[in-house]
Amino acid sequence: QGGYAITIVCAVDVIFYLLAYFGRFRLMSGLAKTDDQSVTLSYFVQEQMIASPALFLVLAVLAFGFGGGGEGLLADLRAGFTEVPSLSVFWMVLLIGALSQGTGIFGSLIFLDRRENTFCVPVNRSSSILAGVCASYALYWFAGARAPSAHKLVGAAMIIGAILFLTIPPMLEKRRAALAEGKVA
């Protein structure tokens, strides 16, 4: 319907999302962003082995742990566990979930890069934008949805251009280091 009005539930969700990422970045910066690749890999594996099952468990407890049918958010959450598996689009939903988890895994790898979060976060967001553009075109080609508009493509291109611009200083630094070591003629 237009506008920027959101519900209280949506606002709370956004606040928790941002706070969780803030905490996650603080943990990653303190525990995993080191020169020791084995420490970084260990953190990544531990996070992936704990976070996804824990999230699934929390959702299941919310869906089934409060009893009763009713209406609203918990009923919708419960329907995701009980009704979606019987729908004709179940395999599509499962594929979308698997692809979403894949972007989360690769996003985590980007976040774990030793460079500052001011570099890693935009790179991660750019990968999400590219995934969104690809998904929009897949829906356009296979499901008859509208193609992304020109202004959305220009916006995506501008963000990708900004990310490419952010890669210039690290490339120059590598080149300077290689020149100093005499590895580049």
**pLDDT, position 94:** 92
Residue 143 has pLDDT above 70, yes or no: yes
Query: For residues 130 and 159, what is the distance between their CA atoms, to the nearest angstrom?
Result: 10
Q: What is the pLDDT of residues 38-86, one digit of tens each?
A: 999 999 999 999 998 999 999 999 888 876 666 777 888 888 899 999 9
**pLDDT, position 117:** 66
Q: Where are the domains of the chain?
A: 8-114
**pLDDT, position 84:** 92
Looking at per-residue confidence, does 32 or 167 come out higher? 32
**What pTM, to 2 d.p., does this model score?**
0.64
In the chain, count H helices and then E strands: 7, 0
Q: Percent of the chain scored above 90 by pLDDT?
A: 24
Mean of pLDDT values over 141-148: 91
Q: Which residues contact 127 (CB under 8 A, 6 or more apart)?
A: 103, 106, 107, 110
